[in-house]
Structure 1
C-alpha cells in the first residue's frame, strides 16, 4: 500500500498553529514511507472562504517548507464530480430527496428537545418499504439527504484516541446537497478522500463527530476506509484553547516576529509527538523517527519561552549571510545607515548568540548603524574627572594600535593599569561614546567592528 495523506484546510482564516501541526504530521508520515502528500483546499463555505485566506494558507505552507506532491485541489472546482456521485447515490437508493423546509426541520428538532430526545431530522421523506411519502409540494426545490443506517454502530480504531464507537441512531440523515445542488462539507470530504485514494487522515479532534458520518458515506459509495487519527487541540500557556489573546497564532505572524521556519517545525513536532527526550532535531531526523504510535492523546500546551529557546538554537546555527538578509529590512525601516558601517553579516555573527528572534537580532544590530545619542545623565555618571585622563590616553593610543580584538584588549588593559582604574570604569564611557548605550558585547569586539576612524572620532567628540 502506498501511503497517501492530505492536509485539507478551509480557507476561512489564516493557517493557525493547529493546522500547521496537522500539515506537518501528515507531510512527515508520507515522507517516512515514501508516499504522497496532498494539499486540498475545502472552499465550499462560500460566505466565509476568501482568496486572501487561501493565499495565507499557501504562504504559510511555503514558509514552513511543507511541499505538497499533488494539488492544491479546490473543492469548488470539483462540483461536477460531486453532482455525479449524488446522482449515483439517488439511483442506488442510498440518498433521497427531502422537501422539508428549514422551518419544518427546526420544528421537528424543537419537538424532540421538548420530549427530552436528541434533536434530529425525523425521516419524513426517507423512503422505506411500504411507507407512503407525503405529496411533493409544488415549486419547492428539495435537498438531498444521505440515507444513514438506522441500526448498528460505526467503529474505528483511531490511531491517536484508540477505539471509538458511535451508534447510528445518534446520526440523522444529513443533507449532502442543498436545494441549489451545491454539496455539503462531509459529503465533499468523503468523495475527495475516495477519489484521492487517501490512506491516512490526520486532523484535529474537533472532527471526531464528522468521522462516523464520513465513514457511512464512504461505505455507501463502496470506498475503502482510510485510517483516522484525531489530534488533540493546542492549549495556550494558561491552559485555555490557544487563541488570538495569547499572541500571534498565524504561522505567517511568527515569521514576522522573527522565528525561523526550522525552529517552528522542530517546536511544533513536539506538540503531540515525542521521541524519548529528544528536543532538537532536523526534519530529516524527524521524518526518519516519525510514526503514529508516539502521538499523544493529551492536549499540548504552547510555551513561548520554549519556542524562543528552540529559535535561539537555530539562530546560532544559521548562516550569518542568511540572518543578515532577514534582519536588514527591519533595520532599514528603523533608519539604519549601512554606508561606511561594519558588514552586517559580521555584526550578526557577534550578536546572534544572545538573541532569540530575528527581531531581537535586528534591534541589537542597530547600535552599529546609527549615530550614538547617549543619555546626558549617564554621561555625567560615567564620564568622571577620574576617568577623563584615561579616555584621552585611550584616544591617543588608538592612532597607532594594531586594530584587532587582541591588540585593543591589551591596549585597554595598559591604559587601565597606568591610571589605576578597573575595566567597567573605562568600558562604560567608551560604550556610551561609541554606541550610545551601556549594554553591548565585549568592548574590544565592538571597537574592532566599528573601526579606528569611527572610534577615534566619537571618543574625541564627547571628550
Structure 2
C-alpha cells in the first residue's frame, strides 16, 4: 500500500504550534514510509475563513520546509463533487431531507438538557416528525446522513489503541446545510476518498468526529484510513496552550528569531521520543519517526528549552543556513551587508553568544554600520584618559599593517601591552569598546580582522576624540 497522508487546516486563523506539530508528524510519516503528503485547505466555514489565514498557513508551511506533494486543495472549489455524493446517498436512502427548523431543534435540545438526557437530534421526536409531515416543496431543508442504529464503530488508533463507540450514541448528522453548503464531517470523508488518503494524523479534539466519519466512509464504499490522534499541547503553566502564553503562531516564532530547524526539532519532541536523544537532524527525524512512538499524554511547552535548541542550531549549523534566515532580521533592522565582511564569517564569530536571530542581527550591526555613540557604561569604564596612550600606540601599529590578519592584529595588541608594560585588559578592553562601541564581543583581534582596517582606524580615532572631549570637561 502506498502511504498518503494529509494536513488539512481550517483557514480561520494562523498556523499555530499544535497545527504545525500535526503537520510535521503527518509529513514525517509520509517521508518515513516513502509515501506522499497532501496539503488541503478546509475552508467550508465561509464566514470565518480568510485569504489572510490561507496565506499565513502556506507561508508557515514553507518556512518550516514542510513541502507537499499535492495541493493545496480547497474544499470550496469542490462543492459540485460533494453535492454529487449527497445526491447519490439520497438516491440510496442513506441520507434524507430534514425540514425541522433550527429554532425547533434548539427548543428540543433545551428540553433534553432540562430532563438530564443527552442533547441530540431525534428523527422520531413527535415535533420533528410533525415538522417533516407539514413541509411543502418550497420549505427549506437540510440533508442528514442516516447513521446506523445498531452495532458499534471500532477503530485502532495508531497512538491511542482500540476505540469503540456505539452507533446509538451517534445521531443523524447534517451533511448539507439549508443554504446548500456541505458540512465539515462530510467533506473530509469525500476528500480523503478522492485523494487516496491512507493515514489521518490530527488532534485529539477530532476523536468524536471519527466514528461519524467512519460510518460515512462505509456508506459510500470508501476504504477507511488509519487514524492517529495527537494529544494537546499545554503551556508552561499546565493550561491549554493559547495566545496568553506568548507566541503560538508559527510565523511569530520566525519574527522572534527562531530557526525553523530548531522549532521542528522542538515540535517533534513534544510527544515523540527516541530514547534520550534530544537533537535530531531532519534526516534522523524521517528515519526514526513512527506514530506508535507518539505519547498519549499531553505535552508541556517549554520556552527555555526551545531557546536552548535555537542557540544550538545557531552555533552548529552551516553558517550559510543561518544566514538564509538571518537576512530577514537584518533587513528588518535596516542592516545592509554589502559594505563589510562575508555574513557567514560574522555568524561563525558571534553566533555562539546568541539565543535568537534577533540577537545575532544586532551583534552583526557594528561589522557593517558605524556608530555615533559608545555604550555608556562601557565607555565610562574603559575610554578614560588612562587608556589614551594604549589606543594611540595601537592606532600607529594598526595603520602600519600591510597584512590584515587575526595573527598580526593579535601581535599588535600583545606588542602594545609589552611596550607599555600593561596587562592585556588595559589594552584589549579600550580597543574592544573603540572598535565595537560596546563592552562585550568575541576576541577583539578576530573582530578587528572582520571589521576591516579603514573602519578600525576610524573608530580608534573616534574613541581618542571621545577621550579628549572627556579630558576637556
TM-score (norm 1): 0.93
Would you say the 8 A contact 1:108–1:122 is kept in 2? no
Q: Deviations over 1:74-99 (max 9, x none)?
A: 11121112111111211222211111
CA distance in 1, matches of 2:221, 2:326: 55
Deviation at 1:325, TM superposition (A): 4.7
CA distance in 1, matches of 2:381, 2:132: 94
Q: Deviations over 1:194-237 (max 9, x none)?
A: 22222111100010111111111112222221111110111122
| 1:284-303 matched pairs, under 5 angstroms | 284-303=283-302
Q: Deviations over 1:356-404 (max 9, x none)?
A: 2222111111122222311456434323444322222222222334532
Q: Is residue 51 from structure 1 mapped to residue 48 from structure 2 by the alignment?
A: no
Match of 2:326 in 1: 327
Match of 2:397 in 1: 397
Match of 1:259 in 2: 258
SS at match of 1:176: strand
Q: Is residue 20 from structure 1 mapped to residue 20 from structure 2 by the alignment?
A: yes
Match of 1:89 in 2: 89
Q: Which runs of 4+ in 1 moved over 6 A?
A: none
Match of 1:117 in 2: 117
CA distance in 2, matches of 1:339, 1:113: 69
Stretch moving more, 411-420 or 239-248: 411-420
CA distance in 2, matches of 1:95, 1:144: 7
Would you say the 8 A contact 1:125–1:133 is kept in 2? no
SS at match of 1:271: coil
Deviation at 1:46, TM superposition (A): 0.6
Match of 2:442 in 1: 441
Match of 1:451 in 2: 452
Match of 2:219 in 1: 220
Stretch moving more, 223-232 or 318-327: 318-327
CA distance in 2, matches of 1:429, 1:228: 64
CA distance in 2, matches of 1:150, 1:242: 38
Q: Is residue 158 from structure 1 mapped to residue 143 from structure 2 by the alignment?
A: no
Distance 1:408 1:25, change over 3 A: same
CA distance in 2, matches of 1:418, 1:279: 51
Match of 2:471 in 1: none
Would you say the 8 A contact 2:339–2:368 is kept in 1? no
Distance 1:100 1:266, change over 3 A: same
| 1:189-338 matched pairs, under 5 angstroms | 189-336=188-335, 338=337
CA distance in 2, matches of 1:374, 1:166: 70
CA distance in 1, matches of 2:88, 2:255: 49
Distance 1:348 1:27, change over 3 A: same
Distance 1:69 1:338, change over 3 A: closer
Q: Deviations over 1:141-163 (max 9, x none)?
A: 21111111223222212111122
Match of 1:31 in 2: 31
Match of 2:144 in 1: 145
Distance 1:63 1:440, change over 3 A: same
Unaligned runs of 5+ in 1: none
Q: Deviations over 1:289-315 (max 9, x none)?
A: 111210111111222222222222322
Would you say the 8 A contact 2:265–2:279 is kept in 1? yes
Q: Deviations over 1:388-437 (max 9, x none)?
A: 22222222222334532222223322322333332222222212222211
| 1:377-392 matched pairs, under 5 angstroms | 378-392=378-392
SS at match of 2:399: coil
Distance 1:86 1:416, change over 3 A: same
SS at match of 1:134: helix
CA distance in 1, matches of 2:87, 2:331: 60
Stretch moving more, 225-234 or 320-329: 320-329
When the two structures are aligned, how many residues end up with a matched partner? 460
